[in-house]
Amino acid sequence: MKGQHVTITSEWTPREGERYVLGEGPRFVDGQPLIVDILSGRLIDSDSGRTLIQIDEPLGAVAPLTGRNGWIAAAGTGIALIDPDGVEWLAKPEVSADTPMRMNDGVADPMGRFWAGSMAYDNRPGAGSLYRVGVDRTVDRVLNDLTVPNGPAFSNDGSVMYLADSARGVIFRFDVDTTLGDLGPAVEWVRVEGGSPDGMCVDENDHLWSAVWGGSRIDRYAPDGTRTASVPVPVTQPTAVLITPDKRILVTSASFGFDQPQVDDGAVFVAETTVAAAPAARYGPSN
């Protein structure tokens, strides 16, 4: 694969060990690629397969905390801080929703805020929302009428946010006020064909990478929305993509929904590439 001078320089290698039901949320933290298995409530060191966190709620995504050990998590029906002392819920905004809900993907932005989406278990159209967690721990709903939000992902300076609504096949782009965290109007940036946009990341060149659920591929886009590359992966349901600082590319996948999953459905795949990306941003004030 070539595009904008980016090349995958090795074959995809599935990680040995467990095949996950809904592996997602890959993040590079303290030199290690971490993933979640959403429905089992686990945070996992992808290199070793070791479980770092186990909670009794679905675990959509995490970000490391600034200045202390622990995580902020999109989990269950809300947002929690998880550290060696236990779980502290900041808010459970979806606990009393009209239909059963869970949190899905989420990420910290370069300014230390955390953003996470929610979705209905039955994928009810428009039931989902996007929440912003300020560095002061306030939790605000900033978008509604979403169905299956994935991402968000941020440009390297934090001034642009990308958010996929997988059920609608659309990646939206928003300008971001980096001081206040306010979003500009939603722009339908990319409409994806042949699958649904899923988990995303941004590389050092501010190109967006997106897994394509049901499409057996990952796509790369320039900041103007031009697709510059499309990379086949050896599973039908890739769920998210991670570019690491040491120029590895990881793709998570799911065995969820198959009557008879294939041997590598739910695996984490690894290859080498010629582009890097920053480690995961941390949640919390920088000083």
C-alpha–C-alpha distance, residues 142 and 41, integer Å = 25
Is 16 annotated among the ligand-binding residues?
A: no
Is residue 265 flagged as an active site residue?
Answer: no
24 annotated to a ligand binding site: yes
200 and 240 in contact (C-beta within 8 Å)? Answer: yes
Q: Give CA–CA dist 210/226, Å, rounded.
A: 13
**In terms of Cα–Cα distance, which of 72, 115, 78, 71 is closest to 93?**
78
| 204 annotated as a binding-site residue | no
Structure tokens at 141: 């709903």
122 is in an annotated binding site: yes
* Closest listed residue to residue 285, CA positions, set 63, 64, 62, 66: 66
Residue 285, preceding bond cis, omega within 30 degrees?
A: no
Q: Is residue 102 a known part of a binding site?
A: yes
Q: Which of 198, 203, 219, 265 is catalytic?
A: 198
Q: Which residue numbers belong to the known binding site for a divalent metal cation?
A: 24, 150, 198
Feature table: binding site: 24, 102, 104, 122, 150, 198
Q: Among all residues, which ones are annotated catalytic?
A: 198
